[in-house]
Amino acid sequence: MAHQSDLIESDIEAYLKSHEEKSLLRFITCGSVDDGKSTLIGRMLYESKMIFEDQLAALETDSKKVGTQGQDLDFALLVDGLASEREQGITIDVAYRYFSTDKRKFIVADTPGHEQYTRNMATGASTADLAIILIDARKGILTQTKRHSFIASLLGIRNVVLAINKMDLVDYDKAVFDQIVLDYQAFATHLREDGVVPFEIVPIPLSALKGDNIIEQSPKMPWYKGQTLLAHLEDVPVQQADIEKPFRMPVQWVNRPNLDFRGFSGQISSGSIKVGEIIKILPSAKQSVVKSIVTLDGNLDQAIAGQSVTICLEDEIDISRGDVFCEAGKPAEVANQFEATILWMAEEPMLPGRSYLMKTGAQNARATITVPKFKVNVNTIERLPATKLELNEIGECNIAVDRKIVFDAYDDNKDMGSFILIDRLTNATVGMGMLRFALRRASNIHWQATDVSKSTRSAMKTQKPAVLWFTGLSGSGKSTIANLLEKKLTAMGKHTYLLDGDNVRHGLNKDLGFTDADRVENIRRVTEVSKLMVDAGLITLVSFISPFRSERQMARAAMEDGEFLEIFVDTPLEVAESRDVKGLYKKARAGEIKNFTGIDSPYEPPKNAEIGVNTAEMSAETAADHILLTLEERGILI
């Protein structure tokens, strides 16, 4: 006969096992400041703790014995703790909290309501199945209500709980509740151009502080006949990984522990795959047959969306991280130019023409963004003209990347259509976005192969092509040194061309001013011209202030290894200003010239320039000779 303690232990194990097998709902709480998000989360955590402990008590055991998440805190202390976190700035990043009931497990993304933290709300919403949008019954719909609703619709959230909170402060008045619901439903019709409300709206009147309609029906609002908040969260359908869509699996890792095994590991984004089926590998477009599907628990005959597997193929094909396995008859798209929706998340604005790192799934590419087609006024959902995107602004832009990207439109496949943008110098995430479609010119314009190559052209000139990029403050001596160096190279029979900042602004870049955005575009155009000249086999001298490291890095990345040499003409500001040959510093100090580098616009000096010259300590002639000697040592001058 089994011992009673053994029965209790087995009951506990069975109970905990049932928790593991429950469905999981991810949701986000959002809304304006002081709408009661912390109080609501605290109430749900507290109540779920009570439910959990009551169930364990029925099993005649101590809750601490099985390690419950319950803490020895009453509801007030729990809410105080959440509020304290906000005061300490902990929720500047998204705080994820876990709780469970007897029906379902939950992960809630707790995001701050302040406008400057809109980016954090978007981060939490990106993986959510449902959004609880809180509204203070006394205040009605506010700007943040609209902003968060718009972002939720952009990110494809299809279930919204309109939690009209603090009903106790309006005497539980049904008329107040009804009016807010009507106002919100009218607003929601403007979230899409076609007027269709993008999500299912379930309005619930509640008081998070008093517990009304959170767990149990409130006797103070007998006019409300719907579910309580927790009951709705337990019953709302969870969007399952879509196995009906075409098969997609981004390759995250090439698994080759020995010579007898070669597999490709990743998580299936959509669809299903069976042993023996033909798949297409993009972007190479090569095909093969699935030989086996391997998991830690053994081989499978079939795998579906959401599973992490290793797929082995019948053929030896060159496949690497970032490639995508697709259903052969319904492959994803491949392109290098897109229209995308971007939410900007950085303090520094998004500057058209600047190069960013784009990451989508396991794919990385260097991306350049055009001037936004428009940005969205979240108050009116009106499209407004824009030249850049500031912190928390949302806009439609075209993106060009330096390699082919495998993708599906975001509306068809979130995993395959979402991306983030990363600052290439700081590695900070500066934006997130959704790919809408490939631009037609991405597939209609092809690179035309030519028979005469760069190496042939440079060999004829007995030199290695290179870009000598002179950077420094105005008046540092860049143009003077570059001019002297070109004369010396020409005397040696070398083929050169000098691109000077002032000269280029008389023609190619005459439409550009001196704002940060214009400076970025200025360098982007010169980079493209320099690349063509290097392809012609020339030694190209570029003399531009080029104040931003990002753009100089972009120019470097556009060239092949060893072709780009950064030359820092290192002259202190006071020395450059004392020269003031063109009188520009004097005008800048007088306020007659705006955005002047070194005065009211920053200059970011190189950190690791190949060549450095200090014109406060050496003459222009000596500097040119020093650069020439370095070129000879590096083998540029054959």
Active site residues: 546
Interatomic CA distance for residues 213 and 220, integer angstroms: 10
3-state secondary structure of 607: coil
Output phi, psi for 306, to 5 deg: 100, -20
Give the tokens for residue 150. Answer: 């718009």
Report whether 430 contacts 421 (CB < 8 A): yes
Could you tell me which of 162, 155, 177, 110 has the C-alpha nearest to residue 132? Answer: 162
Helix (H), strand (E), coil (C) string for 547-562: CCHHHHHHHHHHCCCC
Q: Residue 87 belongs to what H/E stretch?
A: helix 75-87
Strand spans (E) along 244-377: 248-250, 253-258, 261-267, 272-274, 278-282, 286-295, 298-300, 302-304, 308-313, 324-327, 333-344, 355-360, 363-369, 374-377
Question: 465 and 534 in contact (C-beta within 8 Å)?
Answer: yes
Chain centroid to Cα 230, Å, comes to 32
Per-residue buried b or exposed e for 392-411, using 16+ beta carbons within 10 Å of the residue's own CB: bbbbbbbbbbeebbbbbbbe
User: How many residues are given for the chain?
Assistant: 638
Find the DSSP H helices in 538-605.
549-558, 573-579, 584-589
The DSSP line for 27-86 is: EEEEESTTSSHHHHHHHHHHHHHHHHHHHHHHTTS-GGGGT-S--S--HHHHHHHHHHHH
Q: Cα–Cα distance between 30 and 24 in angstroms, integer?
A: 20
Distance CA 278, CA 315 (A): 11
What are the tokens at 236?
Answer: 């709302």
Task: Render 271-288 in DSSP notation, one character per residue.
Answer: SEEETT-EEEEETTTEEE
497 CB-side CA count, 13 A: 15
- Beta-bridged to residue 438, according to DSSP, are 338
CB 488 within 8 A of CB 628: yes
Distance of CA 82 to the CA centre of its chain: 28
